Amino acid sequence: RMSRRLIECRRDIDRLNAPFLAIYESLIPAEEEKAKQKQLLTLLEKLVCKEWPTARVYLYGSCANSFGVSKSDIDVCLALDDQDINKSEMLLKLADILQSDNLQNVQALTRARVPIVKLMDPVTGISCDICINNVLAVVNTKLLRDYAEVDIRLRQLAFLVKHWAKCRGVNETYQGTLSSYAYVLMCIHFLQQRNPPILPCLQGMKPTYAVTVDDVKCAYFDQVDKLRDFGSRNKENIAHLLWGFFNYWAYCHDYANSVISIRTGSVLSKQEKDWTRRIGNDRHLICIEDPFETSHDLGRVVDKHSIRVLREEFERAAEILQRDPNPCGSLFDQY
């Protein structure tokens, strides 16, 4: 399956670097958009604290982890010290409050895996999801943001991969494909595995940051300003890395036996994770370990149909980057 041509990178790959960087630049949100997000967050803080004075409001997800492209929705977490709250009741109450303040399309989704209130702010035009006490998500948002500070190539690679996934329709967990969060973990893993490595394994270093959330101990080295030179021995540019990323997921990853793990900076076996049997909806057809909730496989949404879709898309992308005379166009064709 791995023909000689596929192992050997195309000789003119560097010629593609400038156009891919231009696409990356075009996806970066404008300062004006960041200001509008801040404005909406301030409004939400005000409304929430009127009703629940001890509540804190955090941003998480792409608007806070530095992997947000322009026109993203924002993800907000409402944190309360009281552990015994009834989330459904609280979300319904919150929905009422938001509705009375003229926010639009307010909807409480109390039966979702992560219950949320959705809304759209007519002033800024920004949509937003609010969840309650999902503090692990706030912590993994910080981890991703810290990784992004180490080497700019992570942000470049993740932007292009997320953009590709959205264009190709493989960023839909309800259809059995992967979340943006999963794609960013795949990018971090890939850059940890380069030789020489572009990213370190922050959780494998002496912790400078530690919190315990829902009985999960989260600790890692977060003084990333000291790691700015970490990847400098590796000179691979973004075109080369993008090709390598798709080539890895198309032809090199061992889907039958392997689990990628940014927590350990390595590949684990399904055997040692005990991810060999199907339990409930956990199918483990592509295994991506969550860095903190280590029993959580981000690939668990993938089923026997969508794994084929995903792998065909990885192969398509690898082939385009290998052979297409003008890959910057076709790679991102709407499916």
Neighbours of 331 (CB within 10 A): 22
The tokens for 330 are 């076709």
**Which of 33, 37, 62, 318 forms a contact with Mg ion (CB under 5 A)?**
62
Judged by beta carbon distances under 5 to 8 A according to partner kind, the member of Mg ion, ligand CTP, none in contact with residue 151 is none
Q: 75 vs 146, which CB is nearer to Mg ion?
A: 75
From the list ligand CTP, Mg ion, none, which binds 67 (C-beta under 5 to 8 Å, kind-based)?
Answer: ligand CTP
Binding residues among 124-143 for ligand CTP as defined by CB under 6 A: 137, 140-141
Report the residue number, 301 or 321, with the smaller CB distance to Mg ion. 301
**Cα–Cα dist 251/3, whole Å:** 10
Cβ-based nearer residue to ligand CTP, 33 or 236 = 33
| 126, β-bridge pairs | 121
**Candidate ranges 70-78, 106-114, 154-162, 267-275; the one touching Mg ion (CB under 5 A):** 70-78
Helix ranges (H only) for the chain are 4-7, 17-27, 31-51, 87-100, 135-150, 152-167, 180-192, 238-247, 270-273, 306-323, 327-330
What φ, ψ does residue 258 adopt, rounded to 5°? -105, 150
Site for Mg ion in 221-280 (CB under 5 A): none
CB 134 within 8 A of CB 114: yes
Question: Which CB sits closer to ligand CTP, 65 or 247?
Answer: 65
* CA 306-154-231 angle, 5° bins: 135
Residue from 41, 57, 58, 65 touching ligand CTP (CB under 6 A): that is 65
The stretch near Mg ion (CB under 5 A) out of 69-77, 200-208, 237-245, 294-302 is: 69-77
Is 171 a residue that touches Mg ion (CB under 5 A)?
no
How far is residue 55's CA from residue 287's CA, in Å, rounded to a whole number? 36
Which residues 179-208 are close enough to bind ligand CTP by CB under 6 A?
A: 179-181
Note whether 62 binds ligand CTP by CB under 6 A.
yes
